[in-house]
Amino acid sequence: MPRVGTVGYFCSASLGELSYRVSLEVPTTSRYGSDYGKVQHSSAIAQVLMSGAGPEQQAIVLEPALSSQANADTSADLTRQFFKTKYNVDYVDDASNPLNNLNVFLEKTGLDSDGVEALLAIGNHTAYASPNILSAGHNADEDSPREASLTAIKARFGAGYVNGPTTQPAMALNKDAYGIKRLVNTSVDRFDRLQRIIRLQRWTGIPFTALDTLVMAVVRSEGAVNPQMVLTVNTLRALGTYRYLNKRYGLAPDEFAAFVHQMPGEANDGRLPMFDRVFNNPALFDTPLVLDGSTLYLDQHSSQHVKARAQLSRALHLSSTHEGLRQLAIDVRELIGNAPTDFRLNLSMISSLYRQARIASMFGLTTAECRALIDLLGSLSFRKKVVSGQLDDTEPDVLDILMQLDWAVTWLEASDRDVTTLRRQAGWDMTETIVTQELTVQLEQLTNDARLAVLNSDQLASLDLPSKDDQNNTINWWIILSYLIDESGLVRTQPLHEEPAVSIRRTLHERLSAIAIAEPLASEVEARLATFVLNGYRNQHRLVEELLLTLTGLPPDRCEPVIRWAGSDVSKFLAALLWDNGVIETLSMLIRYSEVSQQLGLSARALRTFLINPRWLYAGSEGQFYLSPNSLYLLDRYSNWRDNCGYPEEALLEYFKQANDPQRDATQCAARLASLTGWTSSEVLAANALLTGSDRIASSMHEVDWLSRMHSASEVTGLSAGQLLSATDLTAASAAAHWKSTGEAVIAGNR
């Protein structure tokens, strides 16, 4: 029988990362959900896989506790079977359990004496508490029936999971009357916990104390839904997320534990408790920061409160005591519980401050930037989840938010944006244009020019149009033209899908067809009116084109689509100017859209294409699309594709036209998309089977982006599209052969 910890195989954590790399949705397209990380199964599955746990490991970690399986008739048999299977010993009762003998326990587990002391947090690994956390400030579990007292909490640091939720004294080592070292205070449940944590430590390589800290943070974060303190899917989700962040950012286990619960106030092995390591090392003040449960006022100027605020700010590397700390503390005060409360110097609230600051620094952000990015990804709901750290596998929680933040900062860096720019461009933070003297002069001149550019009755009279039709009815030409010219003399906006000259002529022809005027006069009248309206249209548009060219450098041919993209048009803007009605607000919006258009190098044709067909950008679009995190991301990916595919832009836009044609041929579409993405048509078809089904190929930029990420993942891993889909289809319920073949392919591809 193999020793504890050698059962089964541990899968490559890359399996879970693959699901994030080729997720069908990214955070900007998932609409505040947890779909990021989902391909064929939920993101929770991807997080579990990132732990490296294969199906056998997952089964061992998550199998129901022995006490929950047994009843009066089966208890004895199940217990004997448990000890034989897990430890290869014969069990009769607790008193005569061979494993109580330390030597037997060492033999059956493969641990040495120091390992057992580390496992139980005794001897050389005995825990000690920070002297700077008083009982009133150590409220970590004051509402939990699972911890009898502060003494029990301290005594069980490093061995909280293995000792379990009972108030029975913690396990220890004693010598019996014969001088034989024995484990005391054991039980069947505790031996069950011991074998699980030993295996988990062997699989992950995380030292016992750090592993227990992480596991117990998860247990306590789950709260009332896990009263028996068992290992759950959340345990594996947290391990997976931790291992990813550790590899990518060097995050330590206790730092991650503070992300989901509270920072430890205890330590062992000669280390400082994490609280003191963060807040009292080095000692920058004459007295340490002490958690005593007292209220910390954010605006009071007494020396006590000023000093405490300065200590917190310095420890958390906040640039401004007042602004940096204040906003974090307000969030804690308002969001950590079910109702607003005072900010108190206790472990719960201080840990929340640390959590927010450390998450920001890990991602290379200031706390203000991180807060703003969290708001952008999930609004107040996400901010509250970060403040509390509470885990909940039924909805997006802090683990999902961490993975989304990782994606967001990676994309921002790749797209040469920062959080402030993203929020401003997406319209979350409105920046009104500063009205300089120069701009004032420009707008005054534009107003004068606009007054001269409006169409009026004198200009219409100069066209020498007939005043009556052939039936002697009076013709009111302004009523005829009202479909094209508004009451201010501004030419109404024209459809984007055709040239203004064509749409104006068509509208005039339709209107004049109802008037009894014979040829050739009818054609002459139509031509004169078309020239009159079109000249007005061009003159009025030229005014705005010149303004945007001067202010933003926007090429004139992009003026109309950019204005329309911003939800306005030339006639609306000029009307706001003439009537002094919100023109600066409108101008600020036009400048914002112009900036994005130029940053992404969007051509007039591309803008018109996506404005006319917003579903070609994102299939879930409802009506016209505007600047948002979603559209910014997809347009950024379009621009990247355009710049790197090696084909002219017309080829990309023609592809979308072909892919959205009801008479499309899937094979031809796949061949064209393969050439545009540098993949093969067979691989495109293989991947596309999951994306859209067999009847069509990716028909939006959202879908093309997914195929492009699939292609990139294929190149990085050496896996085919089919193998990638097979890898992302793995769950604990998958057949062993599926796991083995996929795991081998992933590992081989990573060599």
pLDDT of residue 334: 95
Half-sphere exposure of 564 (CA within 13 A, CB side): 21
Give the DSSP letter of residue 172. E
pLDDT of residue 467: 87
| pLDDT beyond 60 at 519 | yes
State how far the Cα of 30 lies from the Cα of 265, in Å rounded to an integer: 38
Q: Whose CA is closest to 230, among 86, 85, 68?
A: 68
Q: How confident is the model at residue 72 (pLDDT cuts 50, 70, 90)?
A: low
Q: Whose CA is closest to 403, among 729, 8, 50, 24?
A: 50
pLDDT of residue 143: 40
CB 405 within 8 A of CB 356: no
pLDDT of residue 628: 94
CA angle 41, 47, 49 (to 5 degrees): 80
Q: Helices marked H in 280-362 — which ranges?
A: 303-315, 326-335, 347-362
| pLDDT beyond 90 at 145 | no
Range from 316-325, 375-384, 443-452, 702-711 carrying the lowest mean pLDDT: 316-325
Half-sphere exposure of 42 (CA within 13 A, CB side): 13
pLDDT tens digits, one per residue of 179-206: 999 999 999 999 999 999 999 999 999 9
pLDDT of residue 470: 84
Conformation bin of residue 541: beta by default, left when phi > 0, alpha when psi is -120 to 50: alpha
- Say which amino acid occupies 67: S
Instruction: State the maximum Cα–Cα separation within the chain, in Å, rounded to a whole number.
Output: 129
pLDDT of residue 134: 92
pLDDT of residue 164: 94
State how far the Cα of 43 lies from the Cα of 18, in Å rounded to an integer: 11
In DSSP notation, 37-102 reads T-SSS-HHHHHHHHTT--HHHHHHHHSPPHHHH--TTTHHHHHHHHHHHHT----S-STT-GGGBH
Residues 6+ apart with CB under 8 A from 118: 125, 158, 207, 208, 209
Give me 250's structure tokens: 């060097």
Q: How confident is the model at residue 745 (pLDDT cuts 50, 70, 90)?
A: confident
Mean pLDDT value across residues 349-373 = 97
Mean pLDDT value across residues 503-522 = 89
Half-sphere exposure of 102 (CA within 13 A, CB side): 20
| pLDDT beyond 50 at 144 | no
Q: How confident is the model at residue 153 (pLDDT cuts 50, 70, 90)?
A: very low
pLDDT tens digits, one per residue of 545-602: 999 999 999 999 999 999 999 999 999 999 999 998 889 999 999 999 999 999 999 9
Range from 28-37, 98-107, 159-168 carrying the lowest mean pLDDT: 28-37
Q: How confident is the model at residue 220 (pLDDT cuts 50, 70, 90)?
A: very high
Range from 54-68, 289-303, 492-506, 688-702 carrying the lowest mean pLDDT: 688-702
State how far the Cα of 444 lies from the Cα of 23, in Å rounded to an integer: 52
| pLDDT beyond 70 at 7 | no
3-state secondary structure of 40: coil
pLDDT of residue 286: 84
pLDDT of residue 694: 58
- Long-range Cβ contact pairs of 227-231 (< 8 A, separation 24 or more): 227/145, 227/146, 227/165, 228/65, 228/68, 228/164, 228/165, 229/146, 229/160, 229/161, 229/164, 229/165, 230/65, 231/61, 231/62, 231/161, 231/196, 231/200
Q: For residue 295, what are the β-bridge partners?
A: 344
Q: Whose CA is closest to 327, among 371, 393, 376?
A: 371
Give the residue extent of every domain in the chain: 14-120+141-261, 274-425, 437-615, 630-717
pLDDT tens digits, one per residue of 661-683: 998 888 999 999 999 999 999 99
Share of the chain above pLDDT 70, in %: 93
Q: What is the mean pLDDT of the chain?
A: 91
Q: For residue 183, what are the β-bridge partners?
A: 173
Q: How confident is the model at residue 501 (pLDDT cuts 50, 70, 90)?
A: very high
pLDDT of residue 743: 74
pLDDT of residue 537: 97
Q: Is the peptide bond before 520 cis (omega within 30 degrees of 0)?
A: yes
Centre a 10 Å sphere on the Cβ of residue 134 and count the other Cβ atoms it contains. Answer: 16
CA dist 63 to 35, 57, 232, 233, Å?
27, 10, 9, 11
Centre a 10 Å sphere on the Cβ of residue 136 and count the other Cβ atoms it contains. Answer: 14
Q: Whose CA is closest to 660, among 627, 707, 695, 630?
A: 695
| pLDDT beyond 60 at 142 | no
State how far the Cα of 508 lies from the Cα of 514, in Å rounded to an integer: 10
3-state secondary structure of 11: coil
| pLDDT beyond 60 at 657 | yes
pLDDT of residue 150: 45
Radius of gyration of the chain, Cα coordinates, nearest whole angstrom: 34
Q: Is the peptide bond before 629 cis (omega within 30 degrees of 0)?
A: no
Q: pTM here?
A: 0.93
Q: For residue 267, what are the β-bridge partners?
A: 128
Mean pLDDT value across residues 103-113 = 97
State how far the Cα of 11 lies from the Cα of 9, in Å rounded to an integer: 6
Conformation bin of residue 121: beta by default, left when phi > 0, alpha when psi is -120 to 50: left
| pLDDT beyond 90 at 175 | yes
